[in-house]
Homo-oligomer: A and B are copies of this chain.
Amino acid sequence: MYAIGDLSHRTGVKVPTIRFYEDRGLLPPPERTAGNQRRYDEAALQRLQFIRHSRDLGLPLADIEALLTLEGAKGQDLNQAHEIAERQLEDIRGRITRLKRLEQELARITQACDGQHDHVCAVLHAFGDHDACDGSH
């Protein structure tokens, strides 16, 4: 049995966050000692690792909860898990595209200002002037 701190070390999830997940229903309330401290078993450890990894992949807690309820599911239900993963993949690809546009624009802005700062910096100007953008956002 693990104390909450052990669980935290093994998973890299901070102690208050573990309690937060319990509050949110992502982790079932564990057993307690006579002194009211939480004690976790292997299943809880694995569940928390699943959550951790999914969070690292960018999934919102709601999606993770959905995945967790699919554990041990068969047939049709597994497609749901697949869909969640694909949706997340699309989301990430969209984010990458948008960030690349921003990168272009910021790079342009900072370069415009690299040498001299005469009177009015191009950075300040560029931040205010949407029309000067190459792309659209």
Chain A residues engaging chain B, CB cutoff 8 angstroms: 46, 49-50, 52-54, 56-59, 67, 70-75, 78-79, 81-82, 84-86, 88-89, 92-93, 95-96, 99-100, 102-103, 105-107, 109-110, 113-114, 117, 119-121, 123-124, 127-130, 137
Name the B residues within 8 Å of A84 (CB-CB): 123
> When chains A and B are docked, how far (Å) is the Cα of A84 from the Cα of B50?
37
Among B56, B93, B119, B124, the residue within 8 A (CB) of A137 is B56
A123 near B85 with CB under 8 A, answer: yes
Among B46, B81, B107, B124, the residue within 8 A (CB) of A81 is B124
Name the B residues within 8 Å of A123 (CB-CB): 78, 81-82, 84-85
